[in-house]
Amino acid sequence: MALKKFSFNVTEKDGFARTGIIQTSRGTINTPVFMPVGTQATVKAAFLDDIVKTGSEIILCNTYHLMLRPGVKRIESVGGLHNFMNCSLPILTDSGGFQVMSLSKLNKVDKEKGAIFKSHIDGKKIILSPEVSIKIQKSLNSDIVMVMDECPKKTTDYKLIKKSMDISIDWAKRSKKEFGKNSKKALFGIIQGGIFKDLRLKSLKELKKISFDGYAVGGLAVGESQSEMFKVLDSLKKDMPQDKPRYLMGVGTPTDILGAVKRGIDMFDCVLPTRSGRTGLAFTWNGKINIRNSKYKYDNTPIDPNVTNFNLNKYSKNYINHLFNTNEILASMILTLHNINFYQEFMKAIRENIKKGTFNSFHDRYIKKL
C-alpha cells in the first residue's frame, strides 16, 4: 500500500480558532490536537494501546533523550521508533534544542558547530548540529520532524534573544537542506524571538522564505506569564500561514490551550497531564483535584462519574487516595490515563464548539473554571 503524502486542510473557522485535518502516512490527525509526550519512547505509566483508546491521534518523542538512551543505532536497527515502541500512531520528534537548554550543562552554542554540551546522564561531551539533529530524527523515522533551534532561557535581554533568533534562522536553513525532500514526512520550522514582537515577526518572515510544512512557536513556557505568551501569539496570528499547521511547543494547561486555540494554534504537547497524574493531581471539568488531600479519605465518589473510557469511574477518590499514600504504582497508572483522557475529551469539545461557531462562549465558560 502506497504511503499517503503529508497534508493539512482547514475545515472550519470560528474567529481565529479553527479545526483542520493533518494527513500523515500513519493516520489522520484532527486539529486542534493535544499530543501526549512519550519522552523516552514511552508515555510514562501507560500502555500505548490505552493512549490510543483515549482518542490520542499522535504522540511526541524526544530526540535529545533518545540519542543518549538507548541510542540511535538500537532504534534504527528495528526500522525506527514505531517498531521499537510498538506504536501505530504518527510520531512527532522534537529536535533536542529545548533539552539542551533545560537539562544539560551547556558549554556554549557555536553557530557553525551547533550546541556543545555535556550529557546530563554521564557528563559526556556532545556536539548537536542542525545536520546531526535531522539525521537522528530521520533514523528515528518519525512522521513530523522539527528543525534544530536554539531555545534560550527566559530573559529580557534583547540583544541576547536577537542573537539566538539569528542562529535559529541559520540552523533552520541548514535543517531544511539536510532534511531534503520527502512528501511522506513533514519538517516544521520554529519561530523564536522571546517576548519581543519585532523579533517574532522577523523570525516568522524568514522561516516563511525558507518554506516549511508547519510552523511552531518555540521559546515559550519557559517562565513567562500566560498574558505574555498570549501577547506573543496575538502578534503572530495574522501573519502565520493559513494553509500550514501551527504548533505551540510545550504548552500546556487547559487554559493555556483555550487561549492559544482562540489565537489560531492547532497543535499542543505538554508533560503536564502525565507528570501531574504521577504526583496525584487530576484534571477535571471543574478544575484540578489533589487526590492526596486528606479530605478524600472517605470520599467514595469517582473523580469523574461521567467518564466511560476504561471504566475509570469505578475507582473512588477514597481508593486512589490510599494508592498514592502507599506509593502504589496503580495510582500513577489510573491518574495518568484519567488526565490524558480528560485532555482528549477537552480537545474534542474544543473542536465541536469551533464547528458549531460557539467557541468563544465555550472559552469564556471554562477559561477561569479550569
CATH number, position 191 = 3.20.20.105
Catalytic-residue membership of 269: yes
Taking all residues of the chain, what is their mean pLDDT, rounded to a whole number? 94
Q: Give domain status of residue 331, yes or no.
A: yes
Same domain, 363 and 229: no
* Biggest CA-to-CA distance, the chain: 61
Reported as a pLDDT band with limits 50, 70 and 90, residue 105 is low
Of the residues 270, 289, 306, the one at which a domain ends: 270
pLDDT of residue 100: 67
At 262, list the grid cell. 482562540
Same domain, 94 and 224: yes
What is the rounded CA–CA span in Å between residue 2 and residue 138? 19
Pairing of strands 267-269, 33-35: parallel
Find out whether 230 and 242 touch, Cβ atoms under 8 Å.
no
Tell me what the mean pLDDT of segment 173-179 comes to: 98
Q: Which of 94, 143, 213, 266 is catalytic?
A: 94
- Chain segment 80-90, per-residue pLDDT in tens: 999 999 999 99
Of the residues 270, 290, 325, the one at which a domain ends: 270
Catalytic-residue membership of 157: no
Q: Which of 14, 149, 213, 269 is catalytic?
A: 269
Same domain, 55 and 163: yes
pTM: 0.96
- CA distances to 83, 110, 248, 279, 315 from 293, in Å: 41, 48, 33, 12, 16
Look at residues 192, 268, 196, 205 and name the one whose alpha carbon lies nearest to residue 240: 205
Same domain, 289 and 215: no
Domain enclosing residue 129, as ranges: 7-270
Look at residues 286, 288, 226 and name the one whose alpha carbon lies nearest to residue 262: 226
Give the number of other Cβ atoms within 10 Å of residue 174's Cβ: 18
- Chain segment 302-360, per-residue pLDDT in tens: 999 988 888 899 999 999 999 999 999 999 999 999 999 999 999 999 999 999 999 99
